[in-house]
Chain A
């Protein structure tokens, strides 16, 4: 897998965690269970470390999508986008594209073939 895909996926995992920690209902639930969520700053630092390694144009594209969707980048294990469940065109799976980061024509999410 290309390094920039790996960086985006790592970034997304942190973003999902940050969203949970900032979400009032989820963080309340976790705190009621006994978890302390005091290290948000540490998490932001880890995020920055990854984000700094991603080319700015790609990071910008990811961040715009991440504002709209919980998951902005997804693998394509079958023949459809798992974000919007729309079938992808056959041309999408051409081997020429298999190492590229692709875009779902319907929802715009970033897709990769694992």
Chain B
């Protein structure tokens, strides 16, 4: 993936800076419902089931307060990312046991190869592994700042 292009996968109306949910399934539901309301998915139930099944394979909460729920489904037409932030943090069964504040929900069509989302996933994980970027992401409250952090302009 080209450097400086990470932000191009994000859309302003798919950034939720104040998630209200307090539990794992309800935060997934809140984000999926938003994707449905904004017309990005064709069926909320398919996506929810797929994400819950993905979590049963192993939590996508990688630690450090960040989770990457992801998967492929027929109910999505193109690679889509939703950014979510919870100020209180959510028990997401993360690998380090800590609450999750930041969610990168990544969905890809099932008729395309896994590589369509794996590269994006890898890039995003690379970002949160940089302590200065992670600290900034924990404080981000608007789309412009988010894209600047992702593209290394901040």
Is chain B found bound to chain A in the same assembly?
yes
Which chain A residues have a beta carbon within 8 Å of chain B's beta carbons?
6, 9-10, 12-14, 16-17, 20-21, 23, 26, 29-30, 33-40, 42-43, 46, 70-71, 73-75, 82-83, 114
Contact of A13 (CB < 8 Å), options: B71, B113, B125: B71
29 interchain pairs, CB-CB under 8 A: A10-B49, A13-B46, A13-B71, A13-B74, A16-B72, A16-B73, A17-B50, A17-B57, A17-B72, A20-B72, A26-B118, A29-B118, A30-B118, A33-B62, A33-B122, A34-B62, A34-B63, A34-B125, A35-B60, A37-B57, A37-B58, A38-B57, A38-B58, A39-B57, A39-B58, A42-B56, A70-B111, A70-B113, A75-B42
Contact of B71 (CB < 8 Å), options: A17, A37, A39, A42: A17
Question: In the complex, which residues of chain B have a beta carbon less than 8 angstroms from the beta carbon of A9?
Answer: 46, 74-75
Number of interface residues of B (CB under 8 A): 28
- Does B6 touch A at the CB level, under 8 Å? no
Return the chain B residue nearest A23 by Cβ.
Answer: B114
Return the chain A residue nearest B122 by Cβ.
Answer: A33
Which chain B residues have a beta carbon within 8 Å of chain A's beta carbons?
42, 45-46, 49-50, 53-54, 56-60, 62-63, 71-75, 95, 110-111, 113-114, 118, 121-122, 125
Chain B proximity of A111: nearest CB distance (Å): 12
Q: A13-B74, A13-B110 are in contact. Are A36 and B95 (CB under 8 A)?
A: yes
A6, B110: Cα distance in complex, Å = 15
